[in-house]
A and B are shown apart, each in its own frame.
Chain A
Amino acid sequence: MSDKTVLVAGIGSPHGDDQAGWLVVDMMSTTRTADFVRLKKAHQPLDFLDWLPDTDALHIIDACRLPVPADVIYRWRWPEGPWTRGTTVSSHGWSLVSALDLASKLGLTPQRVSIWGVPGKQFRADSPPSDEVVFRARYCAMRVTREITKSLEVC
């Protein structure tokens, strides 16, 4: 099945390795992507609900805290994955899982949702990302691009 519209949403903040999602979006925006691919940067998971209508495939990229070798990134196909559900305490406190659950209750979940986790280790306020995360983000951008291209080939 081909995807008519693809959304790549990088979630992040300006704090150290938490920029991973934004870095992937920036890297993908420097290469030519098809018109049906939208690249967006989100500050919090709730942001991407605005962009879901008319989206067939969603790629979410976010930083995670997992001690792994430098060449490792994670990829899960929603709703599979090691998710835990907690109480949502405020609009600031909406987790990625809560936002995807809300999308599901509202019938907004695209046919395919991939979550890419880019492991980071330092999240100091306003610090630059580590070299490791820049390396992983580049790898992640390449993998997401390849995945989108593959979905075209199926068509």
Chain B
Amino acid sequence: MAGERTIRIDALTRVEGEGALYVRTRNGTIEDLRLQIYEPPRMFEAFLRGRSLEEVPDITARICGICPVAYQMSSVHALEQALGIQVTPEIRQLRRLLYCGEWIASHTLHIYLLNAPDFFDCDSALQMAERFPDRVRVGLRMKKHGNQLLEALGGRAIHPVNVAVGGFYRVPRADQLRRLIPDFQWCLDAAQDTVRWVASFAFPDFDRPCELVSLVHPDEYPMNEGSIGTSSGERIAVDKYEDCFEERQVPYSTAYHSLRRPAGTTYLVGPLARVNLNCDRLSPVARQLAEELPVSWPSRNPFHSIIARALEVVHAFDEALQIMRNYREPSQSRIAYSYRDAAGCAATEAPRGLLYHRYAVDAGGKVTEAKIIPPTSQNQAQIEADLRAWLPNVQHLTDPALSRACENLVRCYDPCISCATHFLTVQIDRI
């Protein structure tokens, strides 16, 4: 299309938070493209300073209503490293179970209500529900059971209150978890059906040569332990994270952009990166399903994220069932500890990707420094780079259709912009 063209999406919808997209093209060439997060900074790192370290998991959980467990997990692991606490295998397993609940609730919400509507040209989850009521009912039922697991372990589904430094304030009774098993068996079947369904969607041919980053672990699908792996084969110890990744401020956004150090290149975190780097450590049911799909792994097509997410739902139900079937109440719910002047860091896998926390604490148990790098800010620069590559494919479209195509791509990443600070207004200028 000749001349200047401006596309502005003032509020991106069906993402978590508030942001906008501005695009200006001249004679078909992109002159400017900005993913603008305009939600004000939320200052969590600053107001953690001076607080008792026991308050950290509950305060950081408030960063996100969708993935509070991730914030709790990264924070307690970082503080435990600082204090030299080694949790028991039983506590560690209960933490994986809690994370399964969060992955299920967050992923099913994103698949059914936020992302799948894009593949059917539905403007909203309500239209999706009208056209596919049975599918959406199944999705909401899986989400409900994920929430029940969160309630059993966390005390409540949103902003759980039971995660403590050293373990849990209270461990669940065996019968509480056993009651969930029949529904989880039903969900495991439903989740496999969801994978086959989303894999049948019409996906654009859009492979991106991006670097993939996620935790990797020799024995398990990564959730809250491991080193940082990349698609170029690096293995980075978590305490070297800040040597290998850096955050940069951009003038048009309140969210930082995370880049690889020293090259300053973009990278991708989240379900697609995780499945690509850890496909062989998915649960047996999920792994077999991944091998049967008409998608070959590794895939660098961001639109395939919905398949990766659905595979992780299968994994989470499968692993949760294994843990619940073998569960015996542990004799101690948490490990005792003493305060000391120290620092510690940890990375865990939030539903949206790698979440890094670092804390320094003093001998009185107070936080003296906090650093939190959420997955969405790590994906921010990659999303922008992918949009630049995506635009030539859709530039022939009318402005409304082009705006929609851009939003469709952004939603693939499950950008929880409320964590990064909140999404999307799109403005496109075609000159």
**Size class of the B contact interface (CB-based, 8 Å):** 20 to 34
- CA A105 to CA B135, docked complex, whole Å: 12
Check: A88 CB closer than 8 A to any chain B CB. yes
Give the size category of A's interface with B: 10 to 19
Show 25 A/B contacts (Cβ-Cβ < 8 Å), sorted by A.
A43-B65, A44-B158, A47-B157, A49-B144, A50-B144, A50-B147, A87-B13, A88-B13, A88-B124, A89-B11, A90-B14, A90-B17, A90-B114, A91-B113, A92-B17, A98-B126, A101-B126, A102-B125, A102-B129, A105-B133, A106-B129, A106-B133, A106-B136, A106-B140, A107-B133
Say yes or no: A105-B17 contact (C-beta < 8 A), given A43-B65, A92-B65.
no
Return B45 CB to nearest CB of chain A, in Å: 18
Q: Contacts A43-B65, A98-B126: A90 and B13 contacting too (C-beta < 8 A)?
A: yes
A interface, over-half SS: loop
CA of A88 to CA of B113 in the docked complex: distance in angstroms? 11
How far in angstroms is the closest Cβ of chain B from A106? 5
Given contacts A43-B158, A44-B65, A106-B129, contact A87 B124 (CB under 8 A): yes
In the assembled complex, the CB of B394 is this many whole angstroms from the nearest CB of chain A, namely: 22
Looking across the interface, which residue of chain A has its beta carbon closest to that of B417?
Answer: A90
Q: Which residue of chain A is the closest to B16 with respect to CB atoms?
A: A90
- Given B13, B65, B129, B130, which contacts A89 in the complex, CB threshold below 8 Å? B13
Residues of B within 8 A of A107 (CB): 133, 137
Given A43, A49, A102, which contacts B126 in the complex, CB threshold below 8 Å?
A102
Partner of A91 from B11, B16, B126, B147 at Cβ < 8 Å: B16
Using an 8 Å CB-CB cutoff, how does the interface string of B117-159 with A read, 1 for contact, 0 for none?
A: 0000000111001100100110010011001000000000111
The reply to whether the CB of B418 lies closer than 8 angstroms to some CB of chain A is yes
CB-CB nearest in chain B for A50: B144
User: Does B109 sit within 8 A of A, measured CB to CB?
Assistant: yes
Distance between Cα atoms of A89 and B15 in the complex (Å): 7
State the CA gap A43–B160 with chains docked (Å): 12
What residues of B have a CB within 8 angstroms of the CB of A108 in the complex?
Answer: 137
Closest chain A residue to B145, Cβ basis:
A50
A interface footprint on B172-216 (CB within 8 Å = 1, 0 otherwise): 000000000000000000000000000000000000000000000
Any A CB within 8 A of the CB of B66: yes
Within 8 A of B (CB), among A87-126: 87-92, 98, 101-102, 105-108
Query: When A and B form their complex, which 8 residue pairs have the shortest distance between CB atoms, in order from nearest?
Result: A105-B129, A50-B144, A43-B158, A89-B13, A105-B130, A90-B16, A106-B133, A106-B137
* Best-surrounded residue of B13, B147, B159 (most CB of chain A within 10 A): B13
**Which B residue sits closest to A49, measured CB to CB?**
B140
Q: Given A43-B158, A50-B144, A98-B126: A91 and B133 within 8 A (CB)?
A: no
From residue A83, how far is it (CB to closest CB) to chain B in Å? 14
* A89 and B14 within 8 A (CB): yes
Q: How does the 8 Å CB contact mask read for A27-65 relative to B, with 1 for contact and 0 for none?
A: 000000000000000011001011000000000000000
Closest to B157 in A: A47
- Complex: A57 Cα to B40 Cα, angstroms: 41
**List of B residues within 8 angstroms of A91 by Cβ:** 16, 66, 109, 113-114
Q: Which chain B positions have C-beta within 8 A of A92?
A: 16-17, 65-66, 418
Bound together, the chains give a CA A107 to CA B140 distance in angstroms of 13
Q: How far is the CA of A88 from the CA of B16 in the complex (A)?
A: 11
- CB closest chain-A residue, reference B137: A106
**A93 to chain B: closest residue by CB:** B13
Contacts of A50 in B (CB 8 A): 140, 143-144, 147
| Across-interface contacts of B136 in A (CB, < 8 A) | 105-106
